[in-house]
Chains A and B, each alone.
Chain A
Amino acid sequence: MSAAVPNRRAVLALLAGAGIAPLLRAADAVGQPRPVLTRAVPSTGEAIPAVGLGTWITFNVGDDPVARDECAEVMRAFFAAGGRLIDSSPMYGSSQEVIGYGLAKLGNAPVFAADKVWISSGARGPAQIEESRRRWAIRRFDLLQVHNLLAWEAHLPTLQSMKEAGKLRYVGITTSEGRRHADIERIMRSERIDFVQITYNVLDREVEARILPLAQERGIGVIVNRPFRQGSLVRRLERHALPPWAAEIGCSSWAQLLLKFIIAHPAVTCVIPATTRVDHVRENVAAASEPLPDAALRRRIAAHVERL
């Protein structure tokens, strides 16, 4: 940078008095995200950051203006750190509206919009999807998933026809907490889907046996929910010191170690931790970085956590 050009910090200091600096930082933050580790969506090769943002509970803040602004700040920090995929559902109360509020407040955010259809009536699926889109206030979703396989036989054809019509880019299915894995496997084998969303973390590893290998075999992207068991896993581990070898893979917190454990699995496309805190979302996205643990270190992480 030329010496004649005032440095960024000096300009920000000058603008701070006029209250302009935060706006400048915001535009900068949303407009120039940091590079992060990405994973290719198997069906298209599109690269998406390996850490996304979940909204279960954390974004369901109703009409609370203070909490809505806090969620918008979490989104701002998420995009600024290089994140893209935000996941929600009509089941999550006001979360969709709060995302829409944040997107409108930030403007031009590079969001990869992932949502779900969650209704027992197949005929009412399109109306629910349209209502969800209206709440997000976006032109179209990138990914729509059948939430917890509810009426999946009816919803999958709807989502596939939306994709064929260019109204949707990717189709998926979800489950959580290890439920209906036999059905998940059956659908992965028989249907054309781009993503499967499952629960996977250092203690809940049932999917390693069949679903993750099947996803690799069938070219299906994997989104991982509940990486921290809704926070309880991190709260439990934070009573113990982070092992010294965590620094070898660039982890400065338990949360990062848990996320790197997940991201390092070759079948995983994106993990979606939820948070209400700006510092945590930065910490989470920072986990999408090299180096990642190899197979031996992943086994060591799992064994260590199980002992605690």
Chain B
Amino acid sequence: MSEWWTYRLSDFLLFSPRTYYRLFELYNEAVFPAQFGAFALGLAILVLSRRGNARADRLAAALLAGLWLFVALAFHAARYATINWAASWFAAAFAVEAALIAWAGAVREAPVLRTDHDWGGRVGLAIFVFALCVLPLVGPLIGRPWSQIELFGLAPDPTALATLGLLAGSKKPRWFLLAIPLLWCATSGATLWTMEAPDAFVLPLVAALAFLLSIVRTFAPRAAGSNGPAA
């Protein structure tokens, strides 16, 4: 791209805010009543991440990988790609994340989503709960219709943020699993900011918290409350 320094973020925004949020409205209509199932799966993953045994770890990873794959196919490839040609790349990235979570958590049986019972683990867990229960409410609370709600397991933002919470709250955050959710939160935050969405700061802010927690737990595990070796 020549004269790349002359481009602004808005030059890459292909759609209006109205079109973007209508996308979620039509998507929610199309997948109903999957919203209830996705929320139940979120609660199940939450419980499983606290059980502390290998079987629960595997199951949590398999469920979360399935949801990443669902978002890749049902949202990015089937919906978002109709207004954003970059969405096919997003779909591929989400499918890769699904494969990585399945490989690391279910095949290799590493406890990648097991939140630790220390303060760092609790912060990670809080981020997960925020993504599951609070982030979806932000849009309706600032005036967007309930029909456009973005839910964990169905929409990319809460799914990525919840995953970051579990990964950051684990005893040893895996950076190869953190990369795609972090990149997504940056991308989505930039999109929302360019659309001048009043809640554009929420996702990047909480994702940054998960990022910092991951750094602390990786490089200063004691300071972050993690006092045992990584499983």
Residue positions of A touching B, CB distance < 8 A:
57-58, 60-64, 66-67, 91-94, 149, 177-180, 230, 276
Contact = CB atoms under 8 A, between A and B. Distances in A.
A60 B26 CA distance: 15
Contacts of A94: 82-83
A64 B19 contact: yes
B153 to A, nearest CB: 22
Contacts of B13: 57
A57 B195 CA distance: 12
A228 to B, nearest CB: 14
Contacts of B14: 57, 60, 91-93
Given A62-B79, A63-B26, A179 B6 contact: yes
A93 B10 contact: no
18 contacts: A57-B14, A58-B16, A60-B19, A62-B19, A62-B83, A63-B79, A63-B82, A64-B19, A64-B22, A64-B23, A64-B26, A67-B19, A67-B22, A93-B82, A93-B83, A149-B2, A177-B11, A178-B6
Given A60-B19, A61-B83, A93-B84, A177 B6 contact: yes
Contacts of A64: 19, 22-23, 26
B2 A179 contact: yes
A179 B5 CA distance: 10
B201 interface: no
Nearest to A65: B26
Contacts of A177: 6, 11
Contacts of A149: 2
B89 interface: no
A230 B82 contact: no
Contacts of B10: 230
The 10 closest A-B pairs by CB, nearest first: A62-B82, A62-B83, A93-B14, A93-B83, A179-B3, A60-B15, A61-B19, A64-B22, A60-B83, A63-B82
A170 B107 CA distance: 59
Contacts of A63: 26, 79, 82
Interface string B165-209: 000000000000000000000000000000000000000000000
A93 B16 CA distance: 12
A177 B84 CA distance: 21
B6 A62 contact: no
Nearest to A231: B16
Interface of B: 2-3, 6, 10-11, 13-16, 18-19, 22-23, 26, 79, 82-85
At the interface, is chain A mostly helix, strand, loop or mixed?
loop
B184 to A, nearest CB: 20
Contacts of A61: 15, 19, 22, 83
Interface hub of A64, A177, A230 (most chain B Cβ within 10 A): A64
A276 B83 contact: no
B85 A93 contact: yes
B167 to A, nearest CB: 32
Contacts of A92: 14
A92 B13 CA distance: 10
Contacts of B16: 57-58, 60, 276
Nearest to B10: A230
B15 A57 contact: yes
B204 to A, nearest CB: 23
Nearest to B6: A179
A274 to B, nearest CB: 10
Contacts of B19: 60-62, 64, 67
B85 to A, nearest CB: 7
Contacts of A60: 14-16, 19, 83
A230 B11 CA distance: 10
Given A63-B82, A91-B14, A93-B82, 10 more contacts: A60-B16, A60-B19, A60-B83, A61-B22, A62-B23, A64-B23, A93-B83, A94-B83, A179-B6, A180-B2
Contacts of B22: 61, 64, 66-67
Contacts of B6: 177-179
A60 B10 CA distance: 15
A58 B6 CA distance: 23
A58 B15 CA distance: 7
A62 B22 CA distance: 10
A93 B15 contact: yes
A107 B22 CA distance: 28
Nearest to B2: A180
Nearest to B30: A63
A57 B83 CA distance: 9
B200 to A, nearest CB: 18
B180 to A, nearest CB: 23
A214 B84 CA distance: 36
B24 to A, nearest CB: 11
Nearest to B25: A64
B84 A180 contact: no
Contacts of B83: 60-62, 93-94
